[in-house]
Structure 1
Amino acid sequence: MNPIYVKHYSESVSFAKALGLAYDALVHGPSAFDAMAVWKALSERIAQGIYMGEGLLLPHTRVPGLSEPLLAFVVCPPGFTDIQVKAGQVPQFMCLLLSPAESATCHTQVIAKIARKLLNPQWRAKALAATTPEELTTLFEE
């Protein structure tokens, strides 16, 4: 699955700013959904904790009536700021995922694909080195 939105930040950026821009891109993406209701659900999920380890922030929620999963992928090698993670770890990747509520399988499959990529040290290195949207998008085609 290719992300709808990809972004590389060469300098530290706040998690809130990166999340807001990524979410806006999904709101204006190919599938319509109730942006305010989904933002509320996403905010509740974020409050529960979204750090998955290995530098990954995974804000996600399931959306009733969504026709397909929507993914935004953001890389920030210096690390996102203003987000709590385990001591000594640096959040460098954010995958914002909205999945159809009607398919738990779809949701878990997308998360599994993301995890496989980010657990691969070569893929992670390429993602950290990529500086253009095209380079980041190409990584999802591997």
Structure 2
Amino acid sequence: MTATAPSQAELAILKHLWTAGPQSAREVQDQIAAPTGWSYSTTRTLLARMTEKGLVERQGVHGLSVFKARVEKVTLMGRLIRDFAANVLDMDGPLPATTFANSRLFSDEEAEALTRLLETSGEDDSGDRS
């Protein structure tokens, strides 16, 4: 995983890209403008920052910049959940993940993968799709 965790704004874009797949900045903007209230320039700035941080990858497709999530959803969420448990709740060790089984963010398979990840010590936090 990247050294820096995503901000709430960056996480909103990642959630969108995980659902929609690779998209141009305009396509991202069209989908997240209403819930976020962001201007197109804000979305572009966030995508540029996320590219620098290694959270998204920019690719040229038919002369258009297309962005895709570079971090894997389950791995990143597992890390964020473990970080929260350790740093906010002072918990360590395996975590019960049944709470996340009904999350709209995860498919059944992803919820199962997250459960397996959180029930282990979490040695692999790479999160990169290399």
Q: What TM-score bracket applies, with the shorter chain setting the length?
A: 0.3 to 0.5
**Greater helix proportion:** 2
Structure number with bigger Rg: 2
TM-score (norm 2): 0.32
TM-score (norm 1): 0.30
**Greater strand proportion:** 1
